[in-house]
A and B are shown apart, each in its own frame.
Chain A
């Protein structure tokens, strides 16, 4: 797929779609802009679209999810390294560089962090159905929307809307953890 073959209006529509997804993913307009550019760079370089299996929109959506996941993973690593480095600095023992810390790191703090996040999410969701039930089912390894809908006795649409609500809460929790202002998206 050559993006050059799309006309100006089509490019803008695709750009807006990616931006909206990126904003939904990150909860931040500025980060969404950055993610949008990275997504299009991937589309133009390593992940071109070929007609056939899926639509161009679904393809760029997949790229965005991949780019976003990569950024999240980088952020987790960065956070862990910073924490370990700060710990080392406060100790009287020899100072270990972030790189050395990475080599023997244990993901304990990430587990603790995730436990805090999930705890906060459950507090925010308290009493909201089917949102709470979805979290419970997902904790028990049921992740497919169709299965969730079947088990909960609701429609796929209701599950999707509940998942979107859950995401909004997740974003607000993460934003608060970062000390950022929460954006309504």
Chain B
């Protein structure tokens, strides 16, 4: 087995310890993270304000996509009756109708176009995707989620990860570890690691 140099060891420790921090963070609930920061003396309100300022500084996507999205989809929905014909290049522009009648046409057209644009924006925006927060924050619920992850890891033959997740789940819910399915997963993982 090759022995690492000091630099390789330091780099490997840097990565492994950061991985450990990440795993540990992901095992916490948002409220636990927040409380822990408060306990550590971090100004959480200031962080919230920074987050707000960051997101507020982003260009609004809806504004950016509204124009291109509106044109192809708005056409079929555009009102057919009160269409105002654009003056052709050759014809002289002449006021043919009194202003009150023109207003009566422009107003509904404007409203209809606005409705079409709003509809186009709504259609073009993706469905909101919720953050994957475990639905059940009880130890048993988190253990169940970990076991579901372990099942995926086992199916993907990521044996060490599978065992890690099962072990983590066991710490949260020892009783749930003693089932035929979990025993079979552990057996498969042990075999997989023994004969990679």
A residues whose Cβ falls under 8 Å from a Cβ of B: 1-8, 10-17, 19-21, 23-25, 29, 33, 36-37, 40, 44, 51, 55-58, 61, 65, 68-69, 72, 107, 110-111, 114-115, 117-119, 121, 135, 138-141, 143-147, 149, 155-157, 159-161, 163-164, 166-167, 170, 184-185
Contact = CB atoms under 8 A, between A and B. Distances in A.
Contacts of A56: 129, 131-132
Q: Taking each of A140, A161, A163, which has the highest tally of chain B beta carbons within 10 Å of its own beta carbon?
A: A163
Contact of A117 (B10, B12, B18): B10
A6 B40 CA distance: 27
B157 interface: no
A15 B16 contact: no
Contacts, number: 189
Contact of A6 (B16, B20, B48, B131): B131
Interface residues of B, number: 61
22 contacts: A2-B61, A2-B125, A3-B55, A5-B125, A5-B128, A8-B55, A10-B131, A13-B133, A17-B33, A20-B33, A21-B18, A56-B129, A56-B132, A58-B26, A65-B22, A114-B10, A121-B13, A138-B12, A140-B4, A146-B159, A146-B161, A170-B14
A84 B101 CA distance: 81
B154 to A, nearest CB: 13
A16 B18 contact: no
Given A3-B55, A16-B47, A163-B16, A144 B126 contact: no
Nearest to B172: A157
B131 A57 contact: yes
Given A118-B9, A160-B23, A163-B17, 4 more contacts: A65-B22, A121-B13, A140-B1, A147-B160
